[in-house]
Amino acid sequence: MSEVKKYENITCTFCGALCDNIEVEVESNQIKKIKNACAISRKKYMHALQDRTIPMLNGKECDYDEAISRAADILKNSKNPLIYGLSSTTAEAQKTAVKIAELSGANIDSTSSVCHGPGTMAKQLVGMVTATLGEIKNRSDLMIFWGANPVEAHPNHSKRYTMLSEGLFKKNRSDREVIVFDVRKTPTAKMADQFFEVEPGKDFELLMALRMLVNGKEPELNNNQIAGIDIEDLKVIAEKLKNAKYGSIFYGMGLTMTGAKYMNTWAAMSLIRDLNDFGRFVMMPMRGHGNVAGSEITMAWQTGYPFAVNFSRAYPRYNPGEYTAVDLLANREVDAAFIIASDPAANLPHQAAAYLDEIPTIVLDPHWNLTTDKAEVVIPSALKGITASGTVYRMDHVPLHLRSFLEDEWPDDAEALVKIGELIEND
Amino acid sequence: MLKDKKFTLITGRTIKQGMASVSGKKNKNYKNETAYVQLSSSIMEEYDIHEGEKVILKSDSGSAEVECRSADLSEKIVFMAYGPTANKLIGTDTGGTGMPNSKSKIVIIEKKEGSNH
């Protein structure tokens, strides 16, 4: 009879909350039981060993080394390749991907450019006052969720770090006031003490009006409303913000994807800066993919820039809107693509993703997805946090080490990338 | 004219879309969980659309056939779980930021020809 092994404190890599309290029971290299996982995480572990990729070249199975070698050839012979994805792989793999970008004169961009990238651009303009999730859990008496819906996107976030968590000084839900700003009444809004429905595309105006009120000024009004919210309500909110001992704003793509994009987050970060004249106030993006925060950290550590980096002149240049994946693909400026742990065919605008059909595309991913259908080369890889170890960064930039607890027949992303880099470098 | 009424398309996460996305991107369930649109019940009534009926959403970047579901939404917006169907509508204009208009695209609703619920 095969042995049942139990593992505790396993880290789920689905979202940026990186819950590190997962317990699994393993028998015969299969996951038999899972504890503490959210609904999405449970599905992720149950599906982990299914739908696994194999090495493929032009739709036909090939040797692993043959796929690696062809990937290196494509990157070597390309004049302006794109390396994209990176948010669901380890910092070790991300670092090596940057090296490959430098060796091949590539553009390198992460999925951050289509999620919290605009917020990062705002950080470069004004800075962001932030904290660890532990500090917020222990101390924050006013929590605001703005254009974010963690109940559906980060299901255990509220239990582990915010509304429902048991902190050192803030023990439970009744110790915290929760306000949600959103264009729709999400499941997160239903958990709040107050929900304010924002007129679509008016976040910037609303945030700037709050800044004025916090600073003792009256905004000019046409109909006693700003962004669909009554001015008298806004005055009450402004007072609450000023009176909070430790306020926190968690923001989602309701700020980064709407009209003003990075200027929305600039306005929110500026409001937070103003509020620190009254009490402590911090802010944090609700990072989606498990290591998308790490993609920005690693890229900044390696190149000086967080995403949208171009190496065509052998030194890094940064320009969102030019070296970002959607723009490069839509403008047909790249002649090859290397997709690492991502599925742009599902997640990028149709016209941008469709261009992948016209250029040699390499996909490094443990599972089949919509982009593997477009790939000339498919390279399988081990499963981060299940059959592969490595480093990932939580949404508050706390690094966590992933342990592997199952065996795999394929090397991990970092090893595949090291091999490709060596083939390019030794040519 | 009903067909001239404009809505802001909000794409976003749902728990079922998240669960389906990690259970195999090529499974039918993932396609189903990303191929419907949520509308306010008053808009459904105004357009004489019944729950589960398919309509065409159109933007200046493309069109998509989607199933309708009623939801507690303002009349100014429609919501879709993000994925390949919503991405037919979003377009590639990033305004120099790298970010497409994934929560600010204007769409119109057209009933399918011959649709009688």
Residue B8 has pLDDT above 70, yes or no: yes
Contact flag B22-A47 (C-beta cutoff 8 Å): yes
- Return the sign of the alpha-carbon dihedral for residues A249, A252, A255, A261: positive
Q: Which two three-digit tokens encode residue A375? A: 């790939």
d(CA A23, CA A4) in angstroms, rounded, equals: 13
Residues 370-409 of A with CB under 8 A from B: 370
Gap from B68 CA to chain A (nearest CA, Å): 17
Gap from B101 CA to chain A (nearest CA, Å): 6
* CATH code for the domain of B12: 2.40.40.20
A262 contacts in chain B (CB < 8 Å): 97
| Residue B82: inside a domain | yes
Which CATH number does the domain A117-285 belong to among 3.90.1720.10, 1.10.3470.10, 1.10.10.10, 3.40.228.10? 3.40.228.10
The pLDDT score that the predictor gives to residue B4 is 78
Contact flag B94-A324 (C-beta cutoff 8 Å): yes
The pLDDT score that the predictor gives to residue A260 is 86
Residue B113 pLDDT level (bands cut at 50, 70, 90): confident
A53 at interface of B, judged by CB pairs closer than 8 A: no
Gap from B115 CA to chain A (nearest CA, Å): 27
d(CA B66, CA B80) in angstroms, rounded, equals: 9
Contact flag B22-A43 (C-beta cutoff 8 Å): yes
**A53-114+290-383+410-425 in CATH: which number?**
3.40.50.740
**Type of residue numbered A401:** H
The pLDDT of B26-55, averaged and rounded, is 96
Q: Please, what is the average pLDDT of chain A?
A: 97
Q: Which two three-digit tokens encode residue A269? A: 């970060």
Where do the structural domains in chain A lie, given as residue ranges? 53-114+290-383+410-425, 117-285
- Which of A39, A50, A348 has the CB atom closest to B15's CB atom? A39
Pick from A159, A14, A47, A96: nearest CA to A340: A96
| Residue B15: inside a domain | yes
The pLDDT score that the predictor gives to residue B1 is 46
Sorted by sequence, the CB contacts under 8 Å of residue A5 that are 6+ apart come out as A25, A26, A27, A405
Pick from A108, A77, A75, A109: nearest CA to A416: A75
SS (H, E, C) chain A: CCCEEEEEEECCCCECCCCCCEEEEEECCEEEEEECCCHHHHHHHHHCCCCECCCEECCEECCHHHHHHHHHHHHHHCCCEEEEECCCCCHHHHHHHHHHHHHHCCEEEEHHHHCCHHHHHHHHHHCCCCCCHHHHHHHCCEEEEECCCHHHHCCCHHHHCCCCCCCCCCCCHHHCEEEEEECCCCHHHHCCCEEEECCCCCHHHHHHHHHHHHCCCCCCCCCCEECCEEHHHHHHHHHHHHHCCEEEEEECHHHHCCCCCHHHHHHHHHHHHHHCCCCEEEEEECCCECCHHHHHHHHHHHHCCCCCEECCCCCCEECCCCCCHHHHHHCCCCCEEEEECCCHHHHCCHHHHHHHHHCCEEEECCECCCCHHHCCEEECCCCECCCECEEEECCCCCEEEECCCCCCCCCCHHHHHHHHHHHHHCC
Pick from A239, A263, A323, A297: nearest CA to A121: A263
Helix (H, G, I), strand (E, B) or coil at B17: helix
E strand or H helix at A146, and its extent?
strand A142-146
- Which of B76, B96, B102 has the CB atom closest to A321's CB atom? B96
Yes or no: say if A156 and A128 are a contact pair by the CB < 8 Å rule: no
- Report the residue of chain B nearest A186, measured CA to CA: B72
A254 contacts in chain B (CB < 8 Å): 12, 103
Q: Which residues of chain A have pLDDT under 70?
A: 1
Pick from A320, A340, A394, A406: nearest CA to A114: A320
d(CA A120, CA A124) in angstroms, rounded, equals: 6
What's the total number of domains in chain B? 1
Number of Cβ within a 10 Å radius of residue A343: 24
The pLDDT score that the predictor gives to residue A196 is 98
- HSE on the CB side for A289, CA within 13 Å? 26
Q: Please, what is the average pLDDT of chain B?
A: 93
Q: What is the pLDDT of residues A343-402, one digit of tens each?
A: 999 999 999 999 999 999 999 999 999 999 999 999 999 999 999 999 999 999 999 999
Yes or no: say if A333 and A309 are a contact pair by the CB < 8 Å rule: no
B23: containing domain:
2-111
Residue B115 has pLDDT above 70, yes or no: no
Residues 294-323 of A with CB under 8 A from B: 307-308, 320-322
Q: Which residues of B touch A (CB under 8 A)?
A: 8, 10-15, 18-19, 21-26, 34, 61-62, 71-74, 76-77, 79, 82-84, 87-88, 90-92, 94-104
**Type of residue numbered B7:** F
SS (H, E, C) B41-94: HHHHHHCCCCCCCEEEEECCCCEEEEEEEEECCCCCEEEEECCCCCHHHHCCCC
Q: How far is CA A264 from CA A111, A127, A238, A308, in A?
A: 19, 14, 18, 20
Gap from A328 CA to chain B (nearest CA, Å): 9
Contact flag A153-B13 (C-beta cutoff 8 Å): yes
Contact flag B19-A39 (C-beta cutoff 8 Å): yes
Crossing angle of helices A117-126/A262-275, nearest 10°?
A: 50
